[in-house]
Structure 1
Amino acid sequence: MVSAEPLKVAVLGCGSVGSQVVRLLSEQSEDLAARIGAPVELVGVGVRRLDAPREVEVPEGLLTTDSAALVTRADVVVEVIGGIEPARGLILSALEHGASVVTANKALLAEDGPTLFEAAAKADRDLYYEAAVAGAIPILRPLRESLAGDRVTRVLGIVNGTTNFILDKMDTAGSGFAEALEEAQELGYAEADPTADVEGFDAAAKAAILASLAFHTRVTAADVHREGISEVTAADVASAAEMGCVVKLLAICELRRQPGGEDAVAVRVHPAMIPRSHPLASVREAYNAVFVESEAAGQLMFYGPGAGGSPTASAVLGDLVTVARNRLAATRGAGESAYADLAVLPMGETVTRYHVAIDVDDRAGVLAAVAQAFAEHGVSIQTVRQEGRDDDAQLVVVSHEATDAQLSATVEHLQRMDIVREVTSVMRVEGGAE
């Protein structure tokens, strides 16, 4: 049965995602009404400029620059503006005026999620945000609901399509970083200013959201160690290939058991080498994938388009259906779960393996001296090989697991040695056996 009373929906933002949300609301109105149990009425679309070009035609009279007034007359507010303000103020106002909220705003959630969650709880309204991470891929709902009875121990993901496209081209086509970035921009995968993507800011915000859900602990973007891919070279990619690996920008969220027996959380984003046999290694082009490990379910992988107007709008509409159903049933879904309140480890305590390339003098005793430097800082060497001769001599060392602090101290030691001309590359190695 479909109720005669429509649910009023307001959309904030009419860019690539917002315009597709508007389109789907119109094209799928009958199906949405049947799935929700009530008609959905689009009461307005909040924009900064009425005359800006748009991907879809918005029905006359729906566009408005007065978003503050719009959110006060809606039952459900969809926020796809992005950024911190005015999005934060509009979401808080919407909740205060009794609306449920669906947002795709990863930056705001990663910076100030607790404020939004507390406002939603106070208003007894839903705040859903599936579209904030990995576009159309359903990953947040499984973490929040499907795996609620399990203990998640690790989330490993490729959550930025721009960087995955660039690294994929460097691996498969032999492109340099600048060349691959230019191609990504030409195809619309990268912005004119690609900083948020290539320097890891976008992925770090998503990692904070994933870690918060997986480990029931408040994690902000400031807690996430972040490194981008702008320093990844063709030599790094070639060296990875020689090891049977591929370079990916990974968001890594881990539950770590401390010496005293208590658990802690480690969250990081950085380029890393992973074996080609790992499921994430086959993720090509601008696709995303998230690999989840839990105690009971074991290993799960979620894969699909991680960005784009239509895929992200699909996730937004999925959340809209859920919050609309909850509203009709006079209930609300699960709110923030931060009961575990675990400590977030500094990067120095993170444990992984490392690939270190060192330009050295080509003379007797160099290998022994380098090995001694690693040993002095407690970093055990798994493999070492020499490449080139004379002025082109280079040692490539792959370590066993060690803390980031131990590796950093080793690199500083190497850089002070007379026999070392330069430490040309340090990259972490993930996903393989010790």
Structure 2
Amino acid sequence: MDQMERNIKSMVDSVDVPSAKLEETVNRSLQIAKKQNNRAFNRRQNIFASIASIFILAIGALLFTSFYQNEVGKQSDVLEKSIIYQVGDDALKRMVEEGKVNNISLVAEDQGIRVFFEEAYLDNNQMAVSYRIDGLDLSRGDIETSIKWDYFINGDLIGHHTFGGLVKSDLFYKGGIFPLHYDTSIFPSESEIKIQITHIDDIEGNWTFQFPIVKNDEHIVKNINLTKKDLFGNEFTINQAELSPTRLLVDATTKFNFTRNLFSGLSQHRFVVVAIGEDDEMHLERVVSSGSDFRDEIVKHNIPYNEAMVIPRTINIYKYKIIPYYVQYNGKQVPSYSGEAYKWDEITAPFETGSVLQLDSMIKVAKIEENKNSTVIYYEMEEEFPIFPIIVNNDKTIELEAKSYKIENDYIKVTYPKVNSKDSVHLLMYDGTYNFYKDLAIEITLK
């Protein structure tokens, strides 16, 4: 080995890169150098400097690529192992992605049953603790089980609780999120949590877990008291909105100008909720639960209907638009073990440019784009109609709903999660009459 080879070799003694890539880079640099051996000596220093520059750039690129792939791999590994990410709602998934969920990794064993507490998250609207159970008898015919536990905060007993209907195999293979339904806004910013499980599957024992937790304190409560009316006498009021990192809670009142069946098998009163981005991208949020003090499904003429909406926040935006709508589905009643059940008629179309779904108004696929992390469909629509087709496969094991939309020229650009090219999918909408009360739309800003 001549001096030039030794100089190049010495430059990488302390650089941590994959050995195969390193050897390839060094050999390539030496080959360039050897081609210059017969040239004048006074050019050797310039050659060495050029080679060294090329070499440093190559090593830098290798280091960056290695670091990036390593970080992406770590993130993917975290998401795959996180029970909260796998079984939680989209807002909790975002907390995992942003690194705001704490790993607690605790184990308690008694009566041959091991319980694992994996992660914990706390804000002013909810607490989530992920867990798994190993040791339940999965061979017995009863596939469900129950848990009894006592709950303590900073040494104070909050209460005794029982939760049933838990699928045993899910607790072993998937895990779950512990059912901690409390008003967490009264929790201190820093707390010592103690959960003492006393019964699992009617087996008495002692599985005790204690861990500290710091609350994500962001909490905005705003009295809105804004009412919109349309020309037909319908009214919509947002009374109050409450926001935490994971949830938007909206207290609202709707008053219709005629009698309406709100929640039958074929008719429903719903809301479109969009988070408005700075670039006018409308991010679709979904109401996951809606409680009311109204005891009848039939809402009569000019009788206020009060509703409390729970909306997981999938994006960190503080400006929202809420639009009430009413849908009358076409379909029929079908047999069910639980009583009444209804099957809505489906309208489908191929997942391809030119496809048309015909409801009261036409939806046509003008263009499909495949990006690295998303699938984008440009629709031609007669009007802005913020209910979009779902991308599904034949047995509906894949259901990709629209994440956001934006008006671009004569199209509505709709972004979906990435469609796997190997999956055979089509577009689906449920047939019905969708009545959107656009004149009742209310925008709120919470920051």
Q: TM-score range by the shorter chain?
A: under 0.3
Higher helix share: 1
Structure number with higher strand proportion:
2
Question: TM (normalized to structure 1)?
Answer: 0.24
For normalisation by structure 2, the TM-score amounts to 0.23
**Rg larger for:** 2
Which gives a bigger RCO, structure 1 or 2 (Cα 8 Å, sep 6+)? 1
